[in-house]
Structure 1
């Protein structure tokens, strides 16, 4: 399946968490690009303290879905990528902070890279972090020195989720010190921020219309 490649900012804006997949095989070239995007993620001290476990066998995917607190839709994705960290690697260089924080942040950067690489190739993906640690470890034989942090589902999407509501920039951006807001952030940052604000307003209007229709049905 050939898809238009979106720009980076467009990919960030239009990416969605996909939980329904078409019953189609994935080209391994595309899977390889997704994994390579994870490999190229930034990490503290360039330690790259991550490992990616690729799972395609249906029985194994089912085991992982069960480990993900019985989220059986996970098994419907033709490919799963389990992102693991090696916390002790960061601990050797950065102490407790490296073990508890940096290794997790590093893995998170790799996950986001992979989600965007998937979307950029017309694939759907979802970041799953709700799982039973012991069950997931057993399913893919994770050693004691590694820690599973995320399951990424991957496949061709069979749904087009509506954009979720997001806070506007003026709700989350401070200047020079925490809590110091600028009233019109959209004007300050120019057209891109205006586009974001308009998109949020449109989504809110859509949500209000849906709620009104639901009330009428009742």
Structure 2
């Protein structure tokens, strides 16, 4: 599967089949997370694989009672080590760089799982203290996400997305080009054609209005 195809077709899955995930696939997913970029290449994260039924139930309960999670046969809990980033980059490292690195690792894992034919969901709503307790985490560690993994038992429709020209500026905030799509790839010609046709139509309407007004005035 091509990278962009994986990005575009990945979905958040909340219904899973009663089918186990091969350990080789789980390791491959975590390997993908390992290769994510991180500030100073600190790689200040740990991945906790959870397969035990009771532990998964406890984590699902800690995730604000999201009981659907229990059906997924595997969880990967992403735990940050902010103290490592703080040692080199101060509070910005702990509060920002750590989150950025873990997020990159999580997305790598989601896309790799999808390429292996597996479904995932990135869970960010949880009682962190409760997950600390369930997993026996040291106090200085920070839970960043719980990823559910399994074989999808649903095929969600693509969610609506904004058009790219509504999400970008050039050079500065609110920076625009007259015809942004002429700079944005294969759809540029079509967009310019629509604009040109609109201008022609506006000229025709303007001409007809002028002629109509002229006739009205000549009759008086």
TM-score over 0.5 for the alignment? yes
- Aligned equivalents of 2:64, 2:181: Cα separation in 1: 41
Give the 5 Å matches for 1:47-126: 47-126=42-121
Structure 1: tracts of 5 or more residues without a match? 1-5, 195-218
Map Cα deviations across residues 96-120 of structure 1 (whole Å, 9 max, x no partner). 1001111011100000000000001
Q: State the secondary structure of the residue aligned to 2:49.
A: strand
Q: Which has the larger radius of gyration?
A: 2
Q: Which among 122, 142, 161 is matched to residue 127 of structure 1?
A: 122
Map Cα deviations across residues 31-87 of structure 1 (whole Å, 9 max, x no partner). 111010001100011000000010001111000000000001111100000001011
1:89, distance to aligned residue in structure 2 (A): 0.3
Q: What's the RMSD between the two structures over aligned residues?
A: 1.4
Q: What number of residue pairs does the alignment pair up?
A: 189
Runs of 4+ in structure 1 displaced over 6 angstroms?
none
> What corresponds to 2:186 in structure 1?
191
- Aligned equivalents of 1:70, 1:129: Cα separation in 2: 13
- Aligned equivalents of 1:136, 1:41: Cα separation in 2: 24
- Aligned equivalents of 2:129, 2:106: Cα separation in 1: 21
Map Cα deviations across residues 132-187 of structure 1 (whole Å, 9 max, x no partner). 01111111111112110100000000000011111111111111111112355443
With structure 2 as the length reference, what TM-score do the two structures score? 0.83
- Aligned equivalents of 1:109, 1:147: Cα separation in 2: 16
- For residues 154 and 186 of structure 1, do their structure 2 counterparts lie closer, same or farther at Cα, with a shift above 3 Å needed? farther
Map Cα deviations across residues 164-212 of structure 1 (whole Å, 9 max, x no partner). 1111111111111111123554432213889xxxxxxxxxxxxxxxxxx
For the 8 Å contact 1:54–1:82, the answer to whether it is kept is yes
Q: Which among 149, 152, 155 is matched to residue 157 of structure 1?
A: 152
Structure 2: tracts of 5 or more residues without a match? 190-220
